[in-house]
Copies of this chain bind each other. A is one copy, B any other.
Amino acid sequence: MDDRVPPANGAALQALCPDSLTFRVDSPLALAMESGATLSPVTIAYQTYGALNAGKSNALLICHALTGDQHVGNLHPVTGRGGWWETMVGPGRPFDTDRFFIICANVLGGCMGSTGPVSLNPDTGEPYGLDFPVVTIADMVRAQALLIDHLGIDTLFCVAGGSMGGMQVLQWASAYPQRVFAALPIATSARHSSQNIAFHEVGRQAIMADPDWRGGRYLTEHTLPSKGLAVARMAAHITYLSDSALHRRFGRNLQDRVARTFSFDADFQVESYLRHQGRIFVERFDPNSYLYLTRAMDYFDLAADFGGSLVNAFRGSPTRFCVVSFTSDWLFPTSDSRAIVRALNAGAASVSFVEIETDRGHDAFLLDIPELIETTRGFIDAAARARGLA
Question: Which A residues are closer than 8 A to B by beta carbons?
Answer: 34-37, 130, 133-134, 191-195, 197-199, 201-202, 204-206, 208-211, 227-228, 230-231, 234-235, 238, 241, 243, 246-247, 249-252, 260, 262-264, 266, 268, 270-271, 274-275, 278, 291, 295, 298-299, 301, 330, 333
Contact = CB atoms under 8 A, between A and B. Distances in A.
A251 B194 contact: yes
The interface residues of chain A, by DSSP majority, are classed as helix
A263 B134 contact: yes
A378 to B, nearest CB: 31
Contact of A247 (B193, B201, B202, B230): B193
Nearest to A130: B264
A37 B263 CA distance: 12
A271 B203 CA distance: 11
A275 to B, nearest CB: 7
One complex includes copies of this chain to the number of 2
A262 B133 contact: yes
A345 to B, nearest CB: 23
B35 A134 contact: no
B238 A275 contact: no
Contacts of A211: 211
A275 B35 contact: no
Contacts of A250: 194
Given A195-B247, A197-B252, A198-B274, 6 more contacts: A134-B262, A191-B252, A193-B252, A202-B231, A243-B333, A264-B291
Contacts of A263: 134
A193 B246 contact: yes
Contacts of A231: 202, 205-206, 209, 231
A286 to B, nearest CB: 15
Contact of A205 (B130, B275, B299): B275
A201 B235 CA distance: 9
Contact of A194 (B37, B270, B298): B270
A110 to B, nearest CB: 17
B230 A209 contact: yes
Interface centre among A36, A238, A301 (most CB of B within 10 A): A238
Contacts of A210: 209
Contacts of A227: 205, 209
Contacts of A195: 238, 241, 243, 246-247
A193 B252 CA distance: 7
A209 to B, nearest CB: 4
Contact of A243 (B205, B241, B243, B330): B330
Given A209-B210, A330-B243, A238 B193 contact: no
A197 B269 CA distance: 10
Contact of A252 (B201, B262, B271, B301): B301
A191 B251 CA distance: 10
A301 B252 CA distance: 9
Interface centre among A34, A208, A235, A247 (most CB of B within 10 A): A235
26 contacts: A130-B264, A134-B263, A193-B243, A193-B247, A194-B243, A194-B249, A194-B251, A195-B238, A195-B243, A197-B270, A201-B270, A201-B271, A201-B275, A202-B231, A202-B234, A202-B235, A202-B274, A204-B264, A205-B227, A205-B278, A206-B209, A209-B230, A235-B235, A252-B301, A264-B291, A264-B295
